Structure 1
Amino acid sequence: MRQSLDNVGFEGSVLVIKNGKTYLNYATANKTDTSYLINSVQKFITGAAIMKAVQEGKLSLNDSLAKFYPTVPGANQVTILNLLQMTSGLTIDKALGTKPFISDKKNLEYAIKNTKFDEKMLGKASYSTLNYVFLSNILSDVYHMSYQKLITKSFINKLKLRHTAFSWANNKTLKKIDFVLGQQQLSSNGKFVTQKLDLNEIHGELGAGSLLMDNKDLSKCVKYILAGNYLSKSSIKALYNLDNSANISYSGGFYIHNTYFGSNGGDNGYYTFLRTSKDAKTVIIAQTNKVRGNFYELRSVMDQLMVALQK
């Protein structure tokens, strides 16, 4: 397994859990408890929080987006489930978030104003972070607190996550969680250039790419959501299509494969790859802050490793 990742030039932190036991926990650069920007991998936490709200009767999967944001184009046709499954037909062709960042409310207004709806794509899979930006704001509406406060209460404090913070945390916190800045390799000379976090855009992505986490904390969230007491069995079944009642490839922040779920993040000089069995007993997490432009190659290697690990 190490060899497979070494062969594609992976440098970072790797955690492998097999049948509930730590199988590998190593770092070829940084440390095993280094925190990285997890980018889109955060969507599985937001997706689960939405399902929790459904379970608590604060929301329905069939609620239309118009119930919350009636001025979004197509809002009366798009449901919460469409947003969770990336089948809304909604897109935005601008970077998310105002420059400079003012507030989550202003970012929501900006997103609504710039959203486009393609009715022909309603019900068809088309990945757009915008879906999870709307879901993050809906969570804030139904719980009457900011998305950050909700996630801090429900996950960071509840699970005692020691190496997790939002990207805009102060320097003292960043140091405490062993956060490292991302690095991008230049194609011209092969040198790595340190990337500064674009906090305006990261604020704009809110529940879809703003968390810093280490591998252990990520694995705790996976276990809590899929095999803990956060969601009921019926909620898990509905969120991740466990009965195969719908022909979907993505839901609740995870790509749905036959025997496992997958999630990938890449931006700002980071790659995060997460693979988990549906019972969270077998998990692979690999994170790096040395980006070489081989995201799709690494994604494929992670899929192969997960299949091999489950044999």
Structure 2
Amino acid sequence: MKKIIQVLICGLIIIFSSGGAVTAHAATNKNPVTSQDTQTAIKQILANHQVNGVVVVNGKDNQPLVITNQITGVDQAHTLTGERLFPIASLNKLITGIAIQQQLNRGKLSLNEKLSQYYPKVTNSNQITIRDLITHTSDLQDTSQASSQVMKKQSTRLNYTLDHYLATGNFTWAYSNTDYVLLAGILSKLTHQSYHQYVQSHFIKPLKLKQTKYFDQVKANQVALPVGESNLQANLINLQKNMSVTLGAGDYFFSAKDYWRFVNAVGHNKFVKMSSIDENVDFTTGTDHYFDGVYFRAGKLFVVNGCYGNLCSSVYCNYGNHQTMVVFANNIPYNQEKLIASQISQIYFN
């Protein structure tokens, strides 16, 4: 009897949210499935905060499960679904980080290599390492977040970044798109492919992602507008001006379901062994450790957030028990979306 009670306690984890008890997944499941109670609790948080958004979590048979909430008065152009295209902003850095990790694992690149080997004209490049770029400790800061026009050629986009950065010389942690633009450029130099070609052949095609588009491949009616915006075409052009600046750092549109599929595959070691990443992370200091485009936390969890205006996104992945959560919202500011995503994660991950 004692043994049976212990098994029952381990199999049922009770968490409390919004005044109710929610039965969550057992942490030992290889591919956990989100319970109906957990889905209801997530939906309630979205409704309580009036979030026009979509959350994707683990469904049956390792497939994405979509939870949506639509605020009053939102029309089709502003509706978020599991299939609607969405600019993932800094969530894009995970894609670049995994691509760079593949080169590191294959011995084509070293964390201690200097940036000067690839971009010698960058200020302080003989002091900046690949590790510095990956971890945002390069001293390179962005000086422009948008171009006056949509730039499509990779060489033009790279040159734009090389003309719009500040070298502070501090070598302390500072978030920067420039770091990941340069990593995308290094990836191209190593593989003799454009960044887009590499992402297509190594990630998008193998996973059969049909609702994933490069920034210049979309039509205005495929993209969810921020709530309050009314001009589809003007909104898309403004987005593309921003996205063309962020090569490898924010230049893809994903549906929520497709991005869940990508992150889920990362968490299942499909592209690289996660142990080859987190062995470089020192979990003895602090709580968030930035590496390969995301913040690693103890307990085999990584997190990242991104935004273009009120088009905000978050992802949480526990690569130990293979739980993945993606949140997209288009009517709230970045900091609010981060807080709400954190609240949802507390329900979802216990």
TM range, normalised to the smaller chain?
0.7 to 0.9
Native 8 Å contact 1:182 1:268 kept in 2? no
1:183 aligns with 2:226: yes
Could you tell me how far apart the structure 2 residues matched to 1:206 and 1:282 are? 29
**Counterparts of residues 27-38 of structure 1 (less than 5 Å):** 27-28=68-69, 29-38=79-88
Letter in 1 for 2:213: A
Shift, 1:213, TM fit: 0.8
Q: Structure 1 residues 96, 143: closer, same or farther in 2, change over 3 A?
A: farther
Single out whichever of 89-98 and 49-58 deviates more from structure 2: 89-98
| Structure 1 equivalent of residue 336 of structure 2 | 297
Gaps of 5+ in 2: 1-41, 70-78
Q: Structure 1 residues 301, 183: closer, same or farther in 2, change over 3 A?
A: closer
| Structure 2 equivalent of residue 131 of structure 1 | 179
Pick one of 163, 166, 170 that aligns with 1:113: 163
Letter in 2 for 1:303: S
Q: Structure 1 residues 97, 50: closer, same or farther in 2, change over 3 A?
A: farther
- Find the residue that maps to 1:208 and give its secondary structure: coil
Q: Structure 1 residues 112, 292: closer, same or farther in 2, change over 3 A?
A: same
**Counterparts of residues 248-263 of structure 1 (less than 5 Å):** 249-259=289-299, 260-263=301-304
Shift, 1:147, TM fit: 0.4
Could you tell me how far apart the structure 1 residues matched to 2:339 and 2:249 are? 22
Could you tell me how far apart the structure 1 residues matched to 2:231 and 2:307 are? 16
Cα RMSD over matched residues? 2.5
Single out whichever of 12-21 and 274-283 deviates more from structure 2: 12-21
Gaps of 5+ in 1: 186-190
Query: Given the two structures, how large is their TM-score scaled by the length of structure 2?
Result: 0.76
Could you tell me how far apart the structure 1 residues matched to 2:325 and 2:337 are? 13
1:232 aligns with 2:288: no
| Structure 1 equivalent of residue 211 of structure 2 | 163
Letter in 1 for 2:208: K
Q: How many pairs are equivalent? A: 295
Percent identity at matched positions?
24
1:207 aligns with 2:248: yes
Letter in 2 for 1:298: E
Single out whichever of 215-224 and 18-27 deviates more from structure 2: 18-27
- Find the residue that maps to 2:247 and give its secondary structure: helix
Shift, 1:103, TM fit: 2.3
- Find the residue that maps to 2:236 and give its secondary structure: coil
- Greater RCO (Cα-Cα under 8 Å, separation 6 or more): 1
Shift, 1:262, TM fit: 1.1
| Structure 1 equivalent of residue 140 of structure 2 | 90
Letter in 1 for 2:306: G
Query: Given the two structures, how large is their TM-score scaled by the length of structure 1?
Result: 0.85
Letter in 2 for 1:232: K
Single out whichever of 263-272 and 228-237 deviates more from structure 2: 228-237
